[in-house]
Structure 1
Amino acid sequence: MFRVLLVLDILNNYLVHAVKGEREKYNKIESFSQISDTSHPLEIVENIKPKEVYIADLNRLHFSKTNEENVDTIYQIRNKAKTYLDWGIESINDVHYASKMADHLILGTESTKLETLKAAVSSYPGRVSVSIDQKNGKILKVDECIPDDPLKIIKLLNGLNIKDIIYLDLSRVGTSKGFDEKLVSKLVLESKHDILLGGGIRDCEDIKLLNNIGVKGALAATALHNGSIPLSILKYDLDTYV
């Protein structure tokens, strides 16, 4: 079954429109969205009613600070939808804290060292996903033990009991420019875990293509807010659209 997760990029307790990972330029989502006249994350979730959401706490990811308003909102969203949370996790203490807020934790190469990832998987088997973070063709990482090649990272992760792997190309986020089909196909073939894609999704044709090459899910925001993908895809299986 192919899954589409609604992306919630939260900054100062507002939902923002993320473009190319240039976080200092993010604007409130209501300035862009065709489906929402509010930028309050909880209101949007209550209105749209998605099955699954991907939350990026940009206060943590960008400023390494905890915004208590974000935390309160994330707790409330978890009561409305299955929640994947990227909280900029750096330590095992961060893992324990974030585990109380979300169903699944996302540990990104941009923030998390391999040692912390392994400890998290040991403590929370089946609840940890890994995000391979890339921008402008370069892997974003804080640990030299993590390879610069996404295929080599996949091989490194194959032996770990993680839920799935997100390949997140930040330079494509918010651009609707599509994705690297050749590379993504290689990642799927190499991985023993499900692959989810984030960044560049244009429309339902992209969703169908991802499904055909074996990707198990997509993170979507721009294509939903501009109407290129119907909101109903967040509630039903892909079979409804193929």
Structure 2
Amino acid sequence: MVFTPNKGIQFIDSYGIYVVTRMDVVLAVDLKGGYVVHGSCGNRANYLPLNWGLSPSAEPSAYLSVMEPKYLYAADLDRIEFSGDHTKLILRLADFVDGLWVDRGCSIPEEYLCGRNIHNIVGTETIDAPMDEFMGGFLSVDVKDGHVVARQNFSQLLPSEISDPSGVSPEDVLRLSNDTNFAGCVLLNISSVGTSSGIDAAVAESLRSCCEKTLFYGGGVRSTEDLATLADAGFDGAIVSTAVHKGTVPLKIIQEGSFC
């Protein structure tokens, strides 16, 4: 395996030909009150139905019929905030796509959702069981203003060798994930959601170097240049929304589900 700037991670096949791996591109939808809402900076109380952009409707099924993504990331904000539940809707949305990564505020393994094409996500914000108890699914490292967002008892869920749990960084959590049974991780920069703030190449490379598993990035992707930055750093996927509606990431990319 070799790494080439601007071409991402490449493998040399048996004929000596470089094969470029593609990075998945996943459309994000935040669900609140039965609608797709536009998120910004993690201030969920102020999220409103997405009534601008490429879709004339914020009703989830109608929205996906217009957007036609190959892959979808859905966050059930009501369930995360203990104010509702979109489980039945999420199961229907899974029929629209080839893969659905869903964060519905799972706290324990028993809350994983079974369904076709569904990849469960448990976030540091809601996890309430030791990480080594989860089999499969993705760990979302939820970050706000550079700090891991977690429950008060998060420190009790970490390995005993962590001497100062209060100072655990996103990089620390990604390293810890390497010894778990999660299939992969999502680095979710909550404070950058909906802001188109961009991706710092050095930060992306540092985060990628900490995780040996499949790794997705979400929050602040503003353009195809940012997708290239993440691909070059070796990320396996990028989660986007605002940039698609603004036209800085072409709709075709999320419909094809990949970027190279």
CA distance in structure 2 between the aligned counterparts of 1:166 and 1:229, rounded to whole angstroms: 20
* Per-residue Cα deviation, 1:110-140 (whole angstroms, up to 9, x for no partner): 000342x43231xxx3xx0111001112111
> Equivalent residue of 2:69, what SS?
coil
Q: Which amino acid aligns with 2:127?
A: T
Conserved? CA contact 1:201–1:223, under 8 Å: yes
Say which structure is richer in helix.
1
- Residue 20 of structure 1 corresponds to which residue in structure 2? 41
CA distance in structure 2 between the aligned counterparts of 1:87 and 1:160, rounded to whole angstroms: 21
Of 47, 71, 74, the residue aligned with 2:90 is 74
- Residue 182 of structure 1 corresponds to which residue in structure 2? 202
* Per-residue Cα deviation, 1:79-133 (whole angstroms, up to 9, x for no partner): 11111110101123322xx234761000100000342x43231xxx3xx011100
Q: Quote the offset at 1:235 in angstroms.
A: 2.8
CA distance in structure 2 between the aligned counterparts of 1:118 and 1:76, rounded to whole angstroms: 30
Conserved? CA contact 1:74–1:101, under 8 Å: no
- Residue 109 of structure 1 corresponds to which residue in structure 2? 124
Of 179, 202, 211, the residue aligned with 1:159 is 179
Matches within 5 A, 1:39-118: 39-62=58-81, 64-67=82-85, 70-81=86-97, 82-95=99-112, 98-100=113-115, 103-115=118-130, 117-118=131-132
Q: Which amino acid aligns with 1:2?
A: M
Q: Quote the offset at 1:197 in angstroms.
A: 0.7
> Equivalent residue of 1:218, what SS?
strand
Larger radius of gyration: 2
Q: Quote the offset at 1:72 in angstroms.
A: 2.3
Q: Which amino acid aligns with 2:108?
A: S
Query: Does 1:3 find its partner at 2:24?
Result: yes
CA distance in structure 1 between the aligned counterparts of 2:117 and 2:125, rounded to whole angstroms: 20
CA distance in structure 2 between the aligned counterparts of 1:215 and 1:44, rounded to whole angstroms: 27
- Residue 120 of structure 1 corresponds to which residue in structure 2? 134
> Equivalent residue of 1:99, what SS?
coil
CA RMSD, 1 decimal: 1.6
CA distance in structure 2 between the aligned counterparts of 1:170 and 1:43, rounded to whole angstroms: 26
Q: Which amino acid aligns with 2:40?
A: V
- Residue 16 to residue 65, structure 1, CA distance change in 2 (3 Å): same
Please give the TM-score of this superposition, normalised by the length of structure 1.
0.88
Conserved? CA contact 2:134–2:182, under 8 Å: no
- Residue 5 of structure 2 corresponds to which residue in structure 1? none
Any unmatched runs of 5+ in structure 1? Answer: none
Instruction: Indicate the percent of aligned positions where both proteins have the same amino acid.
Output: 27
